[in-house]
Structure 1
């Protein structure tokens, strides 16, 4: 079975289990994962994220396997509100 088939059939619950293993080196039940298991978990998590999750991270792996980087202006644009009339509420001392 190839990795693409695995990723296409992976449930969100399985993704969470694999992500936990990749991050901690342990399975959710507390048993220690072997180096091979952890390595496979990392690969599957990265493939799942590239295929199914829209990331707001600066650097990610795209669905085609290529490294995707966002420019500084693209990152800034994420945080700029579409409504430019938003303002911060201001109060005078006697109003508090």
Structure 2
């Protein structure tokens, strides 16, 4: 299968399963990947990201195939919580 046909056939669900496999070294059912399988999965994930990843996170392949890096300060701004994001819980004495 050529690259374009692979990318056209890959669903977001398949991408998530491949990403899980690359990150953990196992398929979602727990079966361990061989080195060749992991390498192939990683290539497929990077190809998918190069076509679909319009909002790349730190160290990913952005749409168009460009590798995207975010600085520490950019990541802090992205994940910084505001006062409104914090849920305050009062614990009752038991």
Q: TM-score, normalised by structure 2?
A: 0.64
Q: Structure 2: where are the runs of 5+ without partners?
A: 85-94
Q: State the superposition RMSD in angstroms.
A: 2.8
Do 2:53 and 2:63's aligned partners in 1 also have CA atoms closer than 8 Å?
A: no
Can you list the C-alpha shifts for 1:33-63, whole angstroms capped at 9, x where unaligned? 1001001111111111121122242544244
In the TM superposition, structure 1's runs of 4+ consecutive aligned residues that sit over 6 Å from their partners are none
Is the contact made by 2:57 and 2:68 (CA closer than 8 Å) also made in structure 1?
no
Offset, 1:25 = 0.5
Q: TM-score, normalised by structure 1?
A: 0.62
- Matched residues, number: 80
Q: Map Cα deviations across residues 3-54 of structure 1 (whole Å, 9 max, x no partner).
A: 2210121011111110111100000000001001001111111111121122
> What's 1:5 paired with?
5
Which structure has the higher relative contact order (CA within 8 Å, separation 6+)? 1
In structure 1, what is the equivalent of residue 35 of structure 2? Answer: 35
Structure 1 residues 24 and 52, CA gap change in structure 2 (3 angstroms): same
